[in-house]
Amino acid sequence: MPLFIGDGRRDEARTDLNFNIDKRDGLPKINIKNSFCNHFNSAATQCGEDASFKDIFGTMDTAIKDEWAEILGTAPSPDLSKSLQGALNRAHGAWYEYIISIESWNYSVANDSFLLVNLPNKNGFSVHQLYTREFSGKIDDFKEKLQSVGADLITSNPDFAIVANPETRFEDERCTIDTESVSPRDIEALEELYRTFTGSLHLNDLKGFVSAKTSFRADRLFQMPHEASTMKALYIHLQTRDWIIDAPGIKYYSMAMGYGRKDTENLKTVATHSITTVQHRPEPVVDRLFKVDSIRSLHESFEAIDSDIAGSV
């Protein structure tokens, strides 16, 4: 892929448009990428050093609501205000991932460290496609065998893959992203990074996965444990198929702006593969649960992951 991330080139796309007009009802709809690029840095500056993402997002929400009312030419009705807040709440999840992606990229460049690679949330891409054909082919074979007996391997993609030594996949030297001038094109490039690594990772190049959520929704209570357990089981399957002795294993982390006692208990659920034989030490599906509600706490989570990777080599 063309590596323009953070290279300072002018983004010729219209970034001043924080809203798109819906042709169906004529109402302005939030442009999630543009609104982030135009408001995040100023909101973070306004909130001050070590501000929480909750406060920053709240400041961004206020600015966007004022702009929305200005476009309408009148104060929105209660129903419209409720609809806008719902759209903003959904945007928070995307903004949260943008921040993690940008900071991970910059951390990786500054420290020659791992990189969190965004994974698409769509049916056309499965996380095992990141592996070389030697390994992804074994997963395809496994899925075919399951289907032959009326079963299937169905799971969602984690939000991020943790890739070791990412610099070896780029021909040019990587540049950091200036958060004061981040553009939608930078974000789109980060979202497409998985294509750079597709079909190129050895078993131990993929160190683990990260789930990133602004909060834990009740309707997704078991999605993360299922996802984590499946990722770890597939790793053990590949390790067994290739008879890789003393493989370092794979990690699954969770990042959230906040969580409660019930969330913590839920994520201690045992990984299914680790209780199928007494030779394996039982392990939780989620290795670490990070409260990531600021840039500082995000970098602390990166340092912890870095330490885990160094300790597993």
The residues annotated as belonging to the active site are: 97, 159, 213, 227
- Chain centroid, CA 262 distance in Å: 23
With contact defined as beta carbons under 8 Å apart, do 174 and 167 qualify?
yes
β-strand 206-213 against 251-256: which pairing, if any? parallel
- Chain centroid, CA 281 distance in Å: 29
